[in-house]
């Protein structure tokens, strides 16, 4: 394809609506990352997005296609995005954590727990928050210590950790929720009240 980026993007997007897989797939090799992102969406819309397309895009030099590939991989458990937890772009890391939570595989729990750590985990709070949310979505007992530790992080992460506790049970979970009843943040307290059914 030739022409301005906006025109190439329009053609690729349109291809996803009219069944033109050839044009949509050609967009994966476009020099512009915005066109490559649009191509992923067009192929997904057509139902012809392949595992190989996503795997290749996870190594794209630009973060926006990598982020979109992680997002689309959320519904495809056969696409391993765990390597993106080490991505140099925080938005890719955040999306990868979310996707792993959606995939629900317990094999990624150790990596997510490491990412969630306030001391040694990711420097970006949004990435730590996404990791905590993913641990709650997966609900594997191995993730509970990281969720409990997140109750000492920033308010938004504490809120996410309190919500994530709904996926776990046992005395440690109940004790943590009761501690949340005294949290400085009212939203954390509200989550704990709801989960403990405190009136």
Q: Give the per-residue pLDDT at 115.
A: 96
Please count the structural domains in the chain. 2
Are residue 170 and residue 192 in the same domain, yes or no?
A: yes
Determine the structural domain holding residue 56 and report its residue range.
Answer: 1-81
| C-alpha dist (Å) from residue 152 to 74, 126, 149, 164 | 28, 15, 6, 14
Domain with residue 115: its CATH number is 1.25.10.10
| C-alpha dist (Å) from residue 86 to 42, 90, 92, 108 | 27, 9, 9, 13
Are residue 74 and residue 100 in the same domain, yes or no?
A: no
CB 63, CB 87: distance < 8 Å: yes
The share of the chain scoring above pLDDT 90, in percent, equals 94
Are residue 73 and residue 107 in the same domain, yes or no?
A: no
Are residue 63 and residue 130 in the same domain, yes or no?
A: no
Summarize pLDDT for 29-52 with one digit per residue, the tens. 999 999 999 999 999 999 999 999
Among the three residues 51, 81, 111, which one is the final residue of a domain in this structure?
Answer: 81
CB 160, CB 150: distance < 8 Å: yes
Are residue 18 and residue 104 in the same domain, yes or no?
A: no
Q: Give the per-residue pLDDT at 78.
A: 95
């Amino acid at each position: 394809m030739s022409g301005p980026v906006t025109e190439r993007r329009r053609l690729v997007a349109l291809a996803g609506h009219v069944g033109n897989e050839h044009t949509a797939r050609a967009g994966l090799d476009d020099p512009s990352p915005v066109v490559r992102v649009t191509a992923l969406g067009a192929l997904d819309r057509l139902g012809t997005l392949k595992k190989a397309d996503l795997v290749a895009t996870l190594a794209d030099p630009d973060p926006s296609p990598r982020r979109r590939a992680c997002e689309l991989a959320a519904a495809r458990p056969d696409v391993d995005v765990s390597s993106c937890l080490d991505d140099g772009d925080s938005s890719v890391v955040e999306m990868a954590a979310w996707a792993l939570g959606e995939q629900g595989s317990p094999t990624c729990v150790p990596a997510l727990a490491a990412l969630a750590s306030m001391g040694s985990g990711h420097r970006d709070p949004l990435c730590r928050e996404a990791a905590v949310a993913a641990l709650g979505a997966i609900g594997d007992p191995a993730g509970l210590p990281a969720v409990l530790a997140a109750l000492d992080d920033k308010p938004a992460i504490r809120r996410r950790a309190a919500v994530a506790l709904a996926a776990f049970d046992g005395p440690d979970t109940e004790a943590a929720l009761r501690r949340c009843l005294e949290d400085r943040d009212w939203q954390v307290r509200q989550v704990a009240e709801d989960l403990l059914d405190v009136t």
